[in-house]
């Protein structure tokens, strides 16, 4: 179903994965102020992402789905946030700087949408909202790593390498498999339309996150 949802998005998916923010990361021309703003907002996003995975544990009915959600939560809390804080330090941002940052409107909209889908819907709704983030970053990483001039002498080379790397690519493949499995358990064209709309809206919110970061908006 991931492939169907991506196709249903139409131009919304390219607007996300080929956003100007992404292109400027790829060629190294993104203003550092925009990248620092992104890093601070992404730290706040990860905190809410962890909350969403905690909600997924609660929403899951099968043990395998509980374990999958638990693994996602542990990856964020035990690894990803620590890696992010260390990476931000290389850009002159302390953890105190990250914690003091007010949430941007686009960040509020996206993270609360994820939590709302988890609260109001079932586990499939949650994963339909979650997947554009996880899989989109993997697609972005692969594309930028292949593009000429995207690695050498690029100040964002480490960021590109992280999402292009096999470890993250495996995370994305597992996310697609989980979404497809859950969608296969849903019945009816109306239900699949609802899930597709959730996927598309999450993709729109991802593009809005890039807008916010590029323009240093709050």
The long-range contacts involving 194-198, CB below 8 angstroms and separated by at least 24 positions, are 194/125, 195/1, 195/5, 195/124, 195/125, 195/128, 196/4, 196/5, 196/8, 196/128, 198/117, 198/121, 198/125, 198/128, 198/129
Rg from Cα positions in the chain? 17
- 37-53 as b/e: b if 16+ CB within 10 A: bbbbbbbbbbebbbbbb
pLDDT tens, N- to C-terminus, the chain (218 residues): 888 888 888 899 999 999 999 999 998 899 999 999 999 999 999 899 888 888 888 888 889 888 888 888 888 887 788 888 888 998 889 888 899 999 999 999 999 999 998 888 898 999 999 999 989 999 999 999 887 555 568 889 888 988 888 888 888 888 898 899 988 888 888 888 999 999 999 999 999 999 999 999 88
Residue 147 tokens read as 């593009």
What's residue 186's pLDDT? 85
What's residue 15's pLDDT? 95
Q: What is the pTM of this model?
A: 0.87
Contact status, residue 202 vs residue 132, Cβ threshold 8 Å: yes
118: number of CA atoms within 13 Å, CB side? 23
| Whole-number Cα distances in Å, 178 to 74, 127, 165 | 17, 8, 20
Active-site residue, selected from the candidate residues 88, 139, 183, 206: 206
Topology (CATH) of 2-215? Heme Oxygenase; Chain A (1.20.910)
Active site residue 18: no
92: number of CA atoms within 13 Å, CB side? 5
Domain boundaries, the chain: 2-215
CB-neighbour burial class of residue 109 (10 A; exposed 0-12, middle 13-18, buried 19+): middle
∠ at Cα 116 (105, 102), nearest 5°?
Answer: 25
> How many whole angstroms separate alpha carbon 125 and alpha carbon 95?
32
Active-site residue, selected from the candidate residues 9, 133, 139, 183: 133
Active site residue 9: no
What's residue 57's pLDDT? 86
């Amino acid at each position: 179903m991931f492939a169907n949802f991506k196709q249903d998005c139409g131009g919304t998916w390219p607007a996300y994965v080929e956003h100007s923010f992404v292109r400027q990361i790829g060629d190294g021309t993104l203003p550092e102020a925009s990248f620092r703003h992104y890093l601070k907002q992404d730290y706040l996003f990860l905190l809410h992402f962890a909350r969403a995975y905690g909600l997924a544990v609660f929403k899951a009915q099968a043990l395998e789905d509980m374990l999958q959600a638990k693994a996602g939560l542990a990856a964020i809390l035990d690894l990803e946030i620590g890696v992010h804080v260390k990476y931000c330090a290389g850009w002159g941002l302390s953890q105190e700087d990250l914690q003091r940052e007010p949430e941007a409107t686009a960040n509020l909209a996206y993270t609360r949408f994820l939590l709302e889908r988890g609260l109001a819907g079932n586990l499939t709704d949650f994963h339909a909202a979650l997947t554009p983030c996880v899989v989109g970053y993997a697609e972005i990483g692969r594309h930028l790593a292949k593009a000429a001039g995207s690695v050498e002498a690029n100040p964002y080379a480490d960021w590109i390498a992280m999402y292009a790397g096999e470890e993250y690519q495996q995370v994305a493949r597992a996310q697609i498999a989980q979404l497809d499995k859950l969608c296969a358990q849903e019945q009816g064209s109306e239900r699949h339309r609802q899930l597709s709309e959730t996927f598309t809206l999450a993709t729109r919110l991802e593009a809005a996150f890039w807008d916010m970061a590029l323009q240093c908006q709050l």
